[in-house]
Amino acid sequence: MMFKRQDKGKRLKKWLLIVLFVLVLIPLTWVVLTKLEGEKPIIELYLQSRVVPADFEITGIADDRKSGIKKIWISLLQNGKDTVLLDEEYPTRGFLQKGTIIRTPIQLNVNVKKMKFSDGPAKLRIAVWDHSWRDWWHGNQTYMEKEIRFDTKPPVLSILTSQHNVAKGGSGLVIYKLSEQCTQSGVFVGNEFFPGYSGYYNDKNIHLAFFAVPVDYDKKIDIFIKAVDPAGNNSRSGFFHYIRNKKFMTDTINISENFLNWKLPEFQSVDKFPSDKSSEEKFIFINSQLRKKNNHTILENGQKTENRIFWTGAFRRLPNSARKANFADQRVYKFNGNVISKAVHMGIDLASVKHAEVPAANRGKVVFADYVGIYGNLVCIDHGCGLMSIYAHLSRMVVNINDLVEKGDAIGYTGTTGLAGGDHLHFGMFIDHVYVNPVEWWDLSWINNNITDKLEIVRSMVP
């Protein structure tokens, strides 16, 4: 009987231990694993720039999936003075539960002048705590610092060139000086932006900007220089300019059935080509939609320019050539006596003999050499600081991308590739992304008066 009582007592103790484990140890384990978790909150902070203007925004996200966010504190420290921007606490759902906020956006607007900060360095500090019981119930903490600089003053613009007489469809040059290094500066002609380039002079704050006046320029369009510093402060300044009006010719081109039968097969593989349409509709597609796409392909090469001037003197034209079409001719295309399409011819057509050697108009670097729809085989040369020349309808090309060519070097041979009705060279020039009249760049007198003299006058003004 005594052994049975002892067994019964042992079993009772065993069950008591199990109950104790269930009632105490499991909850305790849960508390240790949850309320004493050691994972720190996550902070994601977004600043567009470490240099900030008079008004700027601090944005970000605070996140804690384990315990929830308990507190967010943000301050700006400058010259030993700590200015608290945010000090906010967030409650829990209950004693043993997570916080009510698991993830929250951070968004603060800061006005530097109202808060009496001065231009110069400062420190952005942010701390986030969670509802963990770690650190004697203070919670896990994530702390972050970012060095920033207050800059409330816009850059100062000084125009160094005085005369800017430009024709519609023509080119211009303005040279200016900035009071500080800027992230962007250049000339606006209406909504068209032409970036400025430093490095030509020893003073890195002196910039030169080639700009174009589009053929459809309206006198109501503003022309000015704008500069934006790293903080986003911006300045703009007008400069004296006179835009000469220029009339462009209208040319009527009769499209024949023979021409279409000869040329249309070349475009059959073009994306979205209307193969099931009539010859007339196919031509309209080529002369409108494809022309627009091809011009974009050409003009985006302006972004590949180098921050230097490669060229010297007047630009060369195709030797012993006759001009067959002018820059900015307003072309009207007729088929069977009816007007079916219109376009503006943004280059000059030159013809000499079949498969004539085509020389580089001036020194520069080849940035493009490929087939481009209506322009056929085309070479684009960068002459520096946004100035480009193009050579189209080539029968073949003898240069490659990144080749440095000298004035007069052969770059290809004339041909009939693309939408060409006969063997010739389509020669064009553009600044950054706008076509300009090549005739100006063939004229040494124009170059001296409008470009070279300006460069030299400013050189004599600065050390």
CATH (domain of 191) = 2.60.40.10
Three-class SS state of 273: coil
Tell me 304's DSSP state.
Answer: G
- The domain boundary, picked from 150, 182, 205, lies at 150
- Residue at a domain's end among 132, 150, 168: 150
Please report whether residue 443 resides in a domain.
no
Mean pLDDT of 77-90: 94
167, 246 contact by CB (below 8 A)? yes
Query: What's the farthest any 2 CA atoms get from each other in the chain?
Result: 131
Same domain, 194 and 288: no
Question: pTM of this prediction?
Answer: 0.85
Of 51, 47, 112, residue with least CA distance to 83? 112
**What is the number of domains present in the chain?**
3
- CATH value at residue 335: 2.70.70.10
Amino acid 95 reads F
Q: Find out whether 182 and 195 touch, Cβ atoms under 8 Å.
A: no
% residues pLDDT > 70 (the chain): 91
Same domain, 263 and 240: no
Judgement on whether residues 188 and 307 belong to the same structural domain of the protein:
no
The answer to whether position 78 is within a domain reads yes
> In this structure, are residues 216 and 435 in contact, taking their beta carbons and an 8 Å threshold?
no
Instruction: Show the tokens assigned to 208.
Output: 């030169």
How many residues are there in the chain? 463
pLDDT at 304: 97
Q: How many CB atoms lie within 10 A of CB 43?
A: 18
410 domain residue, yes or no: yes
pLDDT averaged over the chain?
91
Tell me the pLDDT tens digit for each residue of 93-111.
765 667 788 899 999 999 9
> 250 with 172: CB under 8 angstroms?
no
Residues 60 and 85: their CA atoms lie apart, in Å, by: 14
User: Is the pLDDT score of 224 beyond 90?
Assistant: yes
Q: Which is higher by pLDDT, 137 or 380?
A: 380
Same domain, 119 and 164: no
Residue 297: predicted pLDDT? 98
Same domain for 254 and 241, yes or no, is no
123's CB contacts (< 8 A; 6+ apart) are 76, 77, 78, 145, 146, 147, 148
Cβ atoms 424, 353 nearer than 8 A: no
Structure confidence at residue 355 (pLDDT): 97
Helix count (H) and strand count (E) of the chain?
Answer: 9, 32
Q: Evaluate if residue 8 carries a pLDDT over 80.
A: no
Domain-embedded: residue 26: no
Q: Are residues 75 and 119 in the same domain?
A: yes
- Whole-number pLDDT of residue 16: 66
Other CB atoms within 10 A of residue 403 CB: 17
- Please provide residue 280's backbone torsions phi and psi, each rounded to the nearest 5 degrees: -60, -45
Q: Are residues 420 and 294 in the same domain?
A: yes
Both 135 and 166 in a single domain?
Answer: no
Q: Which CATH number is 65's domain given?
A: 2.60.40.2950
Instruction: Indicate whether 260 and 392 sit together in one domain.
Output: yes
* 3-state SS class at 63: strand
Structural domain contains residue 442 = no
Q: Given this model, what pLDDT does residue 34 score?
A: 58
Tell me if 296 sits within 8 A of 371, measured CB to CB: no
Structure confidence at residue 49 as a pLDDT band (50, 70, 90): confident
**Beta carbons within 10 angstroms of residue 208's beta carbon:** 23
3-class DSSP assignment, residue 353: coil
The domain boundary residue, chosen from 150, 176, 196: 150
**DSSP classification of residue 454:** H
pLDDT digits (tens, 9 = 90+) for 387-429: 999 999 999 999 999 999 999 999 999 999 999 999 999 999 9
Determine the structural domain holding residue 46 and report its residue range. Answer: 42-150
- Categorize the per-residue pLDDT at 47 as very low, low, confident or very high, splitting at 50, 70 and 90: confident
Q: How far apart are CA 412 and CA 392, in angstroms?
A: 10
For residues 311 and 204, state if they share a domain: no
Reduced DSSP (H G I as helix, E B as strand, rest coil) percent helix, strand, coil of the chain, to 5: 20, 40, 35
115 in a domain, yes or no?
yes
How much is the pLDDT for 244? Answer: 93
Note whether residue 298 is domain-resident: yes
Question: Is-contact 333 339, C-beta < 8 A?
Answer: yes
Using pLDDT thresholds of 50, 70 and 90, give the confidence band for residue 17.
low
Same domain, 91 and 224: no
| 97 and 208 part of one domain | no
pLDDT score at 99: 78
- CA atoms of 196 and 174, how far apart (whole Å): 9
Is 288 within a domain?
A: yes
